[in-house]
Amino acid sequence: MKKGNPYGTHRVISPKGVLPQPADVIDNTMEIYDNEVLIDVKTLNIDSASFTEIERRSEGDVEKIKETMLGIVAKAGKHKNPWTGSGGMLIGTVKEVGPAYVGDIKVGDKIATLVSLSLTPLVIEEILAVRPDIDQVDIKGQAILFQSGIYAKLPEDMAEGLALSALDVAGAPAQTAKLVRPGNKVLVIGGGGKSGLMCLYEAKKRAGVTGQVICMAHSEKSFKRAKDLGFADDYFAADATDAVGVYDKIMELTDGELCDIVINCVNIDNTEMASILATKDEGLVYFFSMATSFTKAALGAEGVGKDVNMIIGNGYTKGHAAITLQELREHEGLRNLFQEMYA
Task: Look at residue 2 and tell me if it is in a domain.
Answer: no
Whether residue 196 is found in the same domain as residue 285: yes
Do 184 and 333 fall within a single domain? yes
Count the neighbouring beta carbons within 10 Å of the beta carbon of residue 125: 11
The answer to whether position 181 is within a domain reads yes
Residues 18 and 142 in one domain: yes
Share of the chain above pLDDT 90, in %: 87
pLDDT category at 42 given cuts 50, 70, 90 is very high
pLDDT beyond 80 at 343 = no
Assess whether 60 and 177 both reside in one domain. no
Q: Does 195 share its domain with 262?
A: yes
Asked if residue 219 has pLDDT above 90, the reply is no
- Whether 327 contacts 201, CB under 8 Å: yes
- Pairing relationship of beta strands 122-131 and 212-217 according to DSSP bridges: unpaired
77 and 124 assigned to the same domain: yes
* Residue 90 placed within a domain: yes
Query: What phi and psi values does residue 20 have, to the nearest 5 degrees?
Result: -60, -30
User: Which pLDDT value is given to residue 201?
Assistant: 97
- Domain assignment of residue 248, yes or no: yes
Better-predicted residue by pLDDT, 291 or 68: 68
Same domain assignment for residues 307 and 274: yes
If we measure between CA atoms, which residue out of 315, 320, 290, 343 comes closest to residue 152?
A: 320
Q: Could you tell me if 149 and 177 lie in one domain? A: no
Average pLDDT over residues 134-139: 94
Within 13 Å, how many C-alpha atoms sit on residue 78's CB side?
30
Choose one of 154, 183, 200: the last residue of a domain: 154
Tell me the pLDDT band of 331, cut-offs 50, 70 and 90. Answer: very high
Question: How would DSSP label each residue in 4-36?
Answer: --TT-GGGEEESTTS-TTT-SEE---SS--TT-
pTM: 0.84
Q: Residue 136: pLDDT above 80? A: yes
Domain identity same for 192 and 145: no
> How far is CA 139 from each of CA 94, 224, 237, 242, 301, rounded to the nearest angstrom?
15, 33, 36, 38, 42
Domain of 91? Answer: 9-154
Percent of the chain with pLDDT strictly greater than 70: 100
176 and 74 belong to one structural domain: no
Average pLDDT in the 301-325 region? Answer: 92
Structure confidence at residue 161 (pLDDT): 84
Average pLDDT value over all residues in the chain: 95
Could you tell me where the beta strands, DSSP code E, fall in 226-327?
Answer: 234-237, 259-264, 279-287, 309-312
Same structural domain, 111 and 191: no
β pairing state of 234-237 and 212-217: parallel
Structural domain total, the chain: 2
Q: What is the CATH number of the domain that holds 255?
A: 3.40.50.720
The residue from 154, 184, 213 where one domain ends is: 154
Question: 20-29, 46-55, 69-78: which has the minimum mean pLDDT?
Answer: 46-55
Residue 57 placed within a domain: yes
**83 has a pLDDT exceeding 80:** yes
Residue 3, domain member (yes or no): no
Domain final residue, candidates 124, 154, 184? 154
Asked if 177 and 109 sit in the same domain, the reply is no
Whether residue 162 lies inside any domain: the answer is no
How much is the average pLDDT of 250-275?
96
Is 244 domain-assigned? yes
